[in-house]
Amino acid sequence: MSVKIGISPIAWQNDDLPDLTAKFTMEQALQEARQIGYTGVERGRRMPQDTEGLRHYLSQNDLSLCGGWCSGNLMGAEVADEIAAIAAQVDQFVALRAPCLVYAECSNTVQGQIGTPVNNRPKLSRDEVTAYAAKLSEVAKWTAEQGLSLSYHHHMGSMIEDEDDINWLMESSSDEVSLLFDTGHLQFAGADVLRVLDRWGHRVEHVHFKDVRADVTSRMRAENRSFLEGVIAGAFTVPGDPEGCIDFQAVTHALKQGDYSGWIVVEAEQDPAKANPYRYSKMGYDHIVDICGLSGLQVAA
């Protein structure tokens, strides 16, 4: 059993806050990620969008496609229409042997609205989440038939954000809906990170390792600030940063106990003027290698 360590290029190329990372290029992101030791990257908007172009782009740096974001609009769409909307991305990910589609409902999210407080995110009732889960299960069954897992990404500012939301979604959906386990979003949302993993580890097929600066996230809540304002202020950081607050050794031990063998992806969007992407990405990689070793979790080359 082994894991692979990948990274999102968001530290060098932030799709939601492009001005923040304007001095960096996607080419630099891929080159430096591979130099550090990462073997995969998640798809970014500034990568080639055609399949063969993306395949060549990644192979130039000896990197695999280890997933990528998909903005869902299933709340207001019919299942057949949503399947049609994501079909091209699913086909591409299957062709490039990506492990999963990172899917999140974005029709009603506030995560990309810099003027909207994260506290104002849509909050659904259990019955509403249950109804949504039934539709999501149909989409996930279809992606599974194509040869690709749908991993749902709970996300700050979205309707599936806190521990209750995640529990309701997982309880009400079929096993084809897997969970993207994101430590940073769980911590920011006030969830118990290890409890979520203990309860839903058997449904986890993709992992994001990001840490949180607790003083910043608390201030964003208290001052009614937006998710993007939190990013700019330094809400997130990488594993191994002493300013973070998550016990990644405990998380890694739990992954080992649960026989996890997928990707661990570093995703920690920060202001590169304050947190150099290469330095912090290396800090995260080195820390994950160390804690995997201590937990007996083998890292694939």
> Could you report the per-residue pLDDT of 171-187, keeping only the tens digit for each?
999 999 999 999 999 99
> Residue 293 and residue 100: Cα distance in Å, rounded?
25
The pLDDT of residue 283 is 98
Mean of pLDDT values over 13-26: 96
Measuring CA to CA, how many Å separate 300 from each of 145, 152, 232, 243? Answer: 27, 25, 33, 28
The pLDDT of residue 301 is 83
**Helix boundaries (H) for the chain:** 26-36, 51-59, 79-95, 126-146, 163-172, 183-188, 193-200, 214-222, 227-233, 248-257, 277-295
> Residue 300 and residue 4: Cα distance in Å, rounded?
5
Mean of pLDDT values over 273-301: 97
Measuring CA to CA, how many Å separate 29 from each of 23, 46, 206, 209? Answer: 11, 11, 21, 18
Domains assigned to the chain: 2-299 (3.20.20.150)
Mean of pLDDT values over 213-229: 98
Using the predicted structure, report yes or no on whether residue 1 has a pLDDT greater than 80.
Answer: no
> Could you report the per-residue pLDDT of 96-116, keeping only the tens digit for each?
999 999 999 999 999 999 999
> Could you report the per-residue pLDDT of 31-74, keeping only the tens digit for each?
999 999 999 999 999 999 999 999 999 999 999 999 999 999 99
Mean of pLDDT values over 191-216: 98
> Could you report the per-residue pLDDT of 118-162, keeping only the tens digit for each?
999 999 999 999 999 999 999 999 999 999 999 999 999 999 999
The pLDDT of residue 242 is 98
> Residue 88 and residue 92: Cα distance in Å, rounded?
6
